[in-house]
Structure 1
Amino acid sequence: MTSISVLGCGWLGFPLAKHLVSNGFAVKGSVRSKEKIDSLEAISVTPFVLDIDGEIIDQSWGSFLDSDILIIAIPSKNQTGFTSLISILGSSPIKHVIFVSSTSVYTDNNAVVTEDVAASESSVLFQIESLFSQSSAFTTTVIRFSGLVGYQRNPGRFFQKSGRSISNPDAPVNMIHQDDCVELITQIIKQEKWDEVFNACADSHPSKREFYTKATQQIGVKTPEFIESETQTFKIISNEKIKKLLDYEFIYPDVMQISYDI
């Protein structure tokens, strides 16, 4: 049985770990506080309390990394911590790493962005990606998600506080539902797509005006103020590579049809 360790069982990592267990994998998961251990045990995930921002040497990384695959699903940008983790990985059984990244590594180019477009070298997240990709101790697949939405993450709630406005209202949005994030990572593992970089984004790209107007209307929040501009700064994330290589059909291809009532 393939064993997988999920570093960071939060908004994305927890449902991912649960889904991997249901697909027959042996899963270990990490949280940052002991209070969350019971929730992992309840879904048959072996729990660990770990913190990349703490003193790594004093934590139980050796046991946690006794797996075939490591999925990194934490928002930390602590390069020192990740450098220490990579050092530990070199003497672990881990063969493959999936690094959850973001399309924020790309600058706005007012055009379609594929994986062939160079990421910003000044992006800390891209620098961390590179630390993993350059290691010869394991292979790394980087998956760059667009804006994460779904379930407890309703973008309309951002505007519950008054005074928040939106610039570039006619620029297209790049979003992806949690369910597609989980299934895409699962398919990367099942199909063994290693040493790759993937963009992951829904098919549709409505304008900010359309998207956030509907998102706020769904929960009865006042429509945000839009800062009008003659020119728009944007990027449109292409998902063609990941759809083609995984033969994947999105669960939520149209972000305007996403419901947040669960």
Structure 2
Amino acid sequence: MSKLKNIQNKVQKVSILGCGWLGLPLAEHFVKLYNWVNGSTTTEDKLKILQSKGIHPFLINLKELEVRGEIEKFLNDSEILILNIPSGLRSGDGENYISKLKLLLRYLEKSTIKKVVFISSSSVYKEDESFVTVFENPESLAETEKATILIEAENIFLRNRNLETSVIRFSGLIGEDRHPAKYLSGKTEIENPDAPINLIHLNDCISVISAVIESDSWGEIYNASYPSHPSRELYYITACAKLGLEPPTFDHYKKNVGKKVSAQKIQEALNFRFTSPID
């Protein structure tokens, strides 16, 4: 029997906290693999959508001082939790994010959850004028406030002895209905035209998460970024042309800073292959 079949036979129930743009199609994928998939949303109108796709729906809101919703029932009998909630860092809600995760951890420690896939971001890594290639090591980490908060969030779970956690640091997410060229179309003076892009398609995101679970690979940090890094200017002008959108213009006078996110570790350790191009 294959290792995938073994894992599927062992794992009967999975819970996904955060069924948004990534979490919902991930849950749909897991419905085909596992006997029971719990999925949470913060929007009451979305409960019927989850249910219609074979996902057992829960309305759960993480707050700084309380969890609203049936969190115990959501976690009950599940072995694996995929933790996929927005950090709120763009809106300056970083401190609340850490408080929410620490509160969630208290519930996890009293539940049947033994393994966590923590969805993080490659924004933890530094950028410079050499367009440094960043790996999953401490030397690659940035010292910005956002990076510091995300790393603290990861460590809440990585350092917990009661849980086996693997962290996936995704680069920018794209898909059929979500392309960054749409947001940059027609904008002017975009910075860092020569910097490399770091993106990953939704299909590969789902495959990466599945690969970690299927390989029973815990206690690890993996970068997940498509292994092609054209310049921002080339990529977005080409993408806008394909989509029939007005291209952006770029600022060529300021110094360029950027990075290349390497996914070498997951490709080698899990024999993972990216299959969905970002163009």
Taking structure 2 as the reference length, what is the TM-score of the superposition? 0.86
Shift of 1:164: 4.4
Change in Cα spacing, 1:210 to 1:80, as seen in structure 2 (3 Å) is same
Mapped pair 1:131 → 2:156: yes
- Decide whether the 8 Å contact of 1:9 with 1:31 is kept in 2: yes
> Please, which of 79, 83, 107 is the counterpart of residue 88 of structure 1?
107
- Decide whether the 8 Å contact of 2:166 with 2:217 is kept in 1: yes
Number of paired residues?
254
- Decide whether the 8 Å contact of 2:61 with 2:68 is kept in 1: no
Change in Cα spacing, 1:130 to 1:36, as seen in structure 2 (3 Å) is same
The superposition leaves residues 146-202 of structure 1 with CA deviations (integer Å, 9 ceiling, x where unpaired) of: 011112111121034x44442110111011000000011011111111110000000
CA distance in 1, matches of 2:219, 2:84: 17
Q: Report SS of the residue matched to 1:75.
A: coil
> Please, which of 68, 73, 77 is the counterpart of residue 84 of structure 2?
73
- Counterpart of 1:217 in structure 2 is 241
Q: Report SS of the residue matched to 2:30.
A: helix
Query: Which runs of 5 or more structure 2 residues have no equivalent in the other structure?
Result: 1-10, 88-93
Q: Report SS of the residue matched to 2:81.
A: strand
Shift of 1:118: 4.1
- Counterpart of 1:119 in structure 2 is 141
CA distance in 1, matches of 2:16, 2:219: 18
Letter in 2 for 1:153: R
The equivalences for 1:21-32 within 5 A come to: 21-32=31-42
- Decide whether the 8 Å contact of 1:105 with 1:120 is kept in 2: yes
- Decide whether the 8 Å contact of 2:14 with 2:34 is kept in 1: no
The superposition leaves residues 110-153 of structure 1 with CA deviations (integer Å, 9 ceiling, x where unpaired) of: 31101123423542111111111111121110000001111211
Mapped pair 1:140 → 2:159: no
Shift of 1:230: 6.5
Shift of 1:87: 1.1
- Counterpart of 2:6 in structure 1 is none
> Please, which of 44, 47, 72 is the counterpart of residue 57 of structure 2?
47
Change in Cα spacing, 1:15 to 1:164, as seen in structure 2 (3 Å) is farther
Percent of matched pairs sharing the same residue? 35
Shift of 1:225: 1.1
- Runs of 4+ aligned structure 1 residues displaced above 6 Å come to none
Change in Cα spacing, 1:25 to 1:175, as seen in structure 2 (3 Å) is farther
CA distance in 2, matches of 1:250, 1:163: 31
- Decide whether the 8 Å contact of 2:226 with 2:278 is kept in 1: yes
CA distance in 1, matches of 2:242, 2:18: 30
CA distance in 1, matches of 2:242, 2:66: 43
- Decide whether the 8 Å contact of 1:155 with 1:215 is kept in 2: no
Change in Cα spacing, 1:192 to 1:251, as seen in structure 2 (3 Å) is same
- Counterpart of 1:260 in structure 2 is none
Shift of 1:208: 0.2
The superposition leaves residues 47-76 of structure 1 with CA deviations (integer Å, 9 ceiling, x where unpaired) of: 000112365344211011111000011112
CA distance in 2, matches of 1:58, 1:172: 41
Query: Which runs of 5 or more structure 1 residues have no equivalent in the other structure?
Result: 257-262
